[in-house]
A and B are shown apart, each in its own frame.
Chain A
Amino acid sequence: MVILETKHLTHTYSVGTPFARDAINDVSISVHQGEILGIIGHTGSGKSTLIQHLNGLFRPTLGQVLLKGKDIWADPKAIRNIRFQVGMVFQYPEYQLFEETVSKDISFGPRNMGLPEDEIEERIHTAARFAGLKEELLDKSPFDLSGGEKRRAAIAGVIAMDPEVLILDEPAAGLDPKGRDDLLEQIGLYHEERKNTVLMVSHSMEDTARISDRVLVMNQGRAAMLAPTAEVFGRGAELQQMGLQVPQVTRVFMELRRMGYPIRDDIYTLEQAQAEFLRVLKGGAAK
């Protein structure tokens, strides 16, 4: 089932001035209910502009954004309700923390939704658990937390609104490898338990390959590909032309195959790599 859809979405910056330029051009995509969609693209390819349309922060110059089949701009006054249903975690979200305590900051979204106090309280704890934030940090000032903890607190602030679609812009940027792994795992767990839809923008092909069901590739303001993860990373040459890469492990397998080993080259995670090596070592033939 399609939950979120764009139709011929175009956004032009500085309309009516000599500086006018299209940030995204005629983008028509559909996001399925319950999937994890990875979004990749070169810097300036229009990823950020696209996702800011999906929760009504930007208004399309042309085209439509449909949430569950309804145009989100049908009633401009109700746009806040759209933002509660499509949660957005910006890049470096820790810079938006402002309250005296972490729990108060997490409650900002639910409170704007007008929820009753006891439900807000419950949401704070659920969101903190999903974001992997320790309970004892809830009463601390967000400014006393470490970098990784701040990031988790900020993500919890969006999860607390319990959005049906969660959009994350580079959630792991600037974290150490362990923090990165933990965060991705946490997102996976959250998705598994809530069964909601997750969109993740990332510069890391490895991260994208690891958690995405499908991948959207943006190039020069257009949706260049939207296909299952294996299919997208199977088109390495095209990706390279767009200034992107396939995951490192895929490159190893492509090279091995080029050198004549009877091996598959549609491998994009370490788990698949391990299985494929074992299969070849046991003497299986390439598909």
Chain B
Amino acid sequence: MIKDITLGQFFPGTSKIHRMDPRVKLALTFFLIIFIFVADTVAATALTVAAVLVLIKLTRVPFQMYIRGLKAILLIVLFTSVLNIFYVRTGHVLLEWGILRITVDGVLRSICIAVRIAIMILLSSVLTYTTSPTDLTTAMERLIKPLKALHVPVHEIAMMMTIALRFVPTLLEETDKITSAQKARGADLESGSVIQRMKAMIPILIPLFVSAFRRAYELAMAMECRCYNGGDHRTTMKQLKLRPLDIWAMVISGIFGVGVILCNFIPPHM
């Protein structure tokens, strides 16, 4: 159950996408997601779908992994698109039953929403599957660096994110262990009412919190012992450099953006 969470999962590799500068990857992901929402004709949406499929192919990560990521949000996608079918009331009526009315516009709209959410998840999967968490936080730190002028503690925020990501697997493992130990003492986690089940979580949550605090304390101590003090004048082990590959990626993304805008003039709208 716990092992199915793909949050922040990273598949090491050497594809073109893997080798890109994480800053560029992060920025371009945002850029592409914005254009998913700019696209509002069938042609433009088809273009975004094609672009994402090409990107997925380029990462050389097994396609099942992306499917697995999509499965997790299947319910949300279905819920929002079904809701939208009934919400849109304009256009040619296909079916009318009481206050419920299904129109061509409504169906198009719901497909559009489903596709947008799916594409957005796929795009962020491309980013997290091909970028290690450390690279990702470094990129984030660099990109929000200008905020330092506004006295935002940029380095500290990035450090917090690195630590948080680092401890996700550790705490999951710990939860598994504590759960087993309490089950061995007869803890019943599988039956009873919702309230009883929540109560049954206490023997797991308390040791988990205690151990999280203990780990935090130990890590803080270890960092202090090495005289860690924030980000001023700190260099990074891995120097980030823009290479031709990144320039190409930016140019291609720019062309894609223009393409989406042009396709938006081709009816039908969604």
Contacts and interface: CB of A to CB of B under 8 A. Distances in A.
B206 A109 contact: no
A158 B185 contact: yes
A90 B185 contact: no
Interface in A48-77: 52, 55, 57
A129 B267 CA distance: 83
A92 to B, nearest CB: 9
A37 interface: no
A143 B185 contact: no
B184 A88 contact: yes
Contacts of A113: 186
Nearest to B182: A96
Contact of B203 (A57, A88, A93, A108): A108
Interface string B197-211: 000001100110011
Contacts of B188: 80, 112
B186 A97 contact: no
Interface string A153-184: 00001100100000000000000000000000
Interface string A139-163: 0000100000000000001100100
A84 interface: yes
Interface stretch (B23-31, B52-60, B112-120, B173-181): B173-181
Given A95-B211, A98-B202, A98-B207, A83 B180 contact: no
A52 B178 contact: no
B203 A98 contact: yes
Given A96-B207, A97-B207, A98-B202, A112 B186 contact: yes
Interface in A85-122: 87-88, 90, 93, 95-98, 108-109, 112-113
B83 interface: no
Contact of A98 (B184, B186, B206): B206
Question: What class of interface size applies to chain B in its complex with A?
Answer: 10 to 19
Specify the main secondary structure of chain A where it touches its partner: helix
B46 interface: no
A90 B207 contact: no
30 contacts: A52-B180, A55-B184, A57-B180, A83-B184, A83-B185, A88-B181, A88-B184, A90-B180, A90-B181, A90-B184, A95-B177, A95-B207, A96-B178, A96-B203, A97-B207, A98-B202, A98-B210, A108-B182, A108-B185, A108-B186, A108-B187, A109-B185, A109-B186, A112-B185, A112-B187, A113-B186, A143-B210, A157-B185, A158-B184, A161-B185
B184 A87 contact: yes
Interface residues of A, number: 22
Contacts of A90: 177, 180-181, 184
B199 to A, nearest CB: 12
B39 to A, nearest CB: 36
Contacts of B181: 88, 90, 93, 95-96
A113 B188 CA distance: 10
Contacts of A55: 184
Interface string A29-60: 00000000000000000000000100101000
A88 B181 CA distance: 8
Given A90-B177, A93-B181, A98-B202, A84 B186 contact: yes
B183 interface: yes
A57 B203 CA distance: 17
A161 B184 CA distance: 10
B49 to A, nearest CB: 28
A6 to B, nearest CB: 18
B40 to A, nearest CB: 39
A55 B183 CA distance: 10
Interface in B158-179: 177-178
Given A98-B203, A98-B207, 11 more contacts: A57-B180, A57-B183, A95-B177, A95-B211, A96-B181, A97-B207, A98-B202, A98-B206, A109-B185, A109-B186, A158-B184
Nearest to A77: B191
A80 B207 contact: no
A113 to B, nearest CB: 6
A159 B244 CA distance: 66
A1 B188 CA distance: 32
A60 B206 CA distance: 30
A274 to B, nearest CB: 39
A83 B183 CA distance: 8
A86 to B, nearest CB: 9
B220 to A, nearest CB: 19
Contacts of A157: 185
A97 B182 CA distance: 9
